[in-house]
């Protein structure tokens, strides 16, 4: 648990309550009133970028399960596509037909690192904005 006080609150006034935990995404201490999720091993503050990341992971895990099921049948990971898979998404590891993957300039994963070309599915391409925010 974090020491000090909660780092969330209004624009001009910070919360003065003691922290209940530290956010797993932004590493800021937060109190129970500013918790988005605080159960078991998950500790997520109520900041919009952190809440969006938590929600995105729930959706992403469901998406990957569906892709894997379709891949086991030898099909493209996109629901409703009957084509055989043959190419991997570099982000989720799912296998897709050529029509459902594209080479795109994907944002760098670490500061100071250059952006890189990556072959990604539409789902992973859509997630990049959520994970590139501070």
Structure confidence at residue 96 (pLDDT): 94
* Between 132 and 71, the higher pLDDT residue: 71
Mean pLDDT confidence for 94-115: 81
What are the backbone angles phi and psi of residue 120, rounded to the nearest 5°? -130, 155
User: Is 59 a residue whose pLDDT tops 80?
Assistant: yes
User: Is 45 a residue whose pLDDT tops 90?
Assistant: yes
Structure confidence at residue 16 (pLDDT): 85
* Between 40 and 66, the higher pLDDT residue: 66
Instruction: Please name each of the domains of the chain with its CATH number.
Output: 1-46 (no CATH), 48-132 (3.30.40)
Taking a C-beta distance cutoff of 8 angstroms, is the pair 31, 22 a contact? no
Largest CA distance in the chain: 57
Number of Cβ atoms within 10 Å of the Cβ of 14: 12
pTM passes above 0.85? no
Number of Cβ atoms within 10 Å of the Cβ of 67: 24
Taking a C-beta distance cutoff of 8 angstroms, is the pair 58, 48 a contact? no
User: Is 2 a residue whose pLDDT tops 60?
Assistant: no
Two tokens, residue 18:
């003691």
Two tokens, residue 4:
């000090």
The mean pLDDT of the chain is 88
Structure confidence at residue 34 (pLDDT): 93
């Amino acid at each position: 648990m974090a020491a000090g006080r909660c780092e969330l609150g209004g624009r001009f006034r910070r919360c003065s309550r003691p922290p209940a935990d530290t956010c797993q995404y932004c590493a800021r201490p937060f109190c129970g009133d500013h918790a988005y999720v605080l159960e078991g091993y998950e500790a997520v503050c109520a900041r919009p970028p952190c809440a969006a990341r938590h929600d995105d992971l729930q959706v992403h895990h469901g998406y990957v399960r569906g892709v894997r099921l379709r891949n086991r049948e030898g099909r493209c990971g996109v629901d409703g596509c009957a084509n055989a898979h043959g190419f991997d998404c570099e982000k989720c590891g799912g296998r897709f037909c050529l029509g459902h993957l594209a080479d795109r300039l994907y944002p760098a994963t670490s500061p100071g690192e250059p952006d890189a070309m990556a072959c990604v599915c539409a789902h992973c391409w859509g997630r990049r904005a959520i994970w590139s925010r501070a």
